[in-house]
Amino acid sequence: MKLYTYFRSSAAYRARIALNLKGVPYEPVPVNLLKGEQREEAYRSINPQKRLPALDIGGTVLIQSPAILEYLDEVYPEPPLLPGDAVNRAKVRAVASLVGCDIHPLNNLGPLTYLKKTLGHEQAAVDAWYAHWVREGFEAIEGLIGPGPYCFGPQVTLADVYLVPQVFNARRFNISLDAYPKIVAVDAACTELRAFQDAAPDRQPDAV
């Protein structure tokens, strides 16, 4: 199994966490987003969308982190990333969606580059854009997550898999997390786990 990844890609970070939690061995194949390697023909032939991650499971390649995470949870059911009952599954999916559908798409490399290079915004304006959408999403998540240590109690779920990479990004962009003590506590609990530690950007072979 090969995971096409970039050390700072939060979507690839999610996939690394899930693979580690499931104990699934994989070979990381770095694709440097800043150098544009995702647009080169070698990678376009693997993933026509030209984004990360992509997971080669032998015979086929899966793209889009939500689809990859669902595949992993279905094929490798232990430990489960979703609770057993429908209501709690919906709550977990809501937090994951807040990150994956509301925060991340607006703050991904493509939109940020477009804001700066195509629309001509200064870096300060781009940073303000980034911070605005993080705060909007984190305010909601702070009110949704339950008693710890993880987002929804004593078991790691899909919500944690999505949240931790977004916290990493917020810190990288110097966004204060003082207003989100529950999120900070969840992140601290998750990063005590080996699966999260080994998935961290600074632990990746392409980290620079």
pLDDT of 208 strictly over 80: no
Q: Would you tell me which CATH number, out of the four given (3.40.50.1460, 3.40.47.10, 3.40.190.10, 1.20.1050.10), belongs to the domain 86-195?
A: 1.20.1050.10
Predicted structure pTM score:
0.94
Residues 42-70 have a mean pLDDT of: 97
Domain boundaries of the chain, sorted by first residue: 2-79, 86-195
**Sheet with 54-56, side-by-side order of all strands:** 27-30, 2-5, 54-56, 61-63
Indicate the class that CATH gives domain 2-79.
Answer: alpha beta
* pLDDT level of residue 117 (50, 70, 90 thresholds): confident
Closest C-alpha to 203, from 22, 38, 13, 66: 13
Which of 183, 173, 192, 161 is closest to 53 using CA atoms?
161
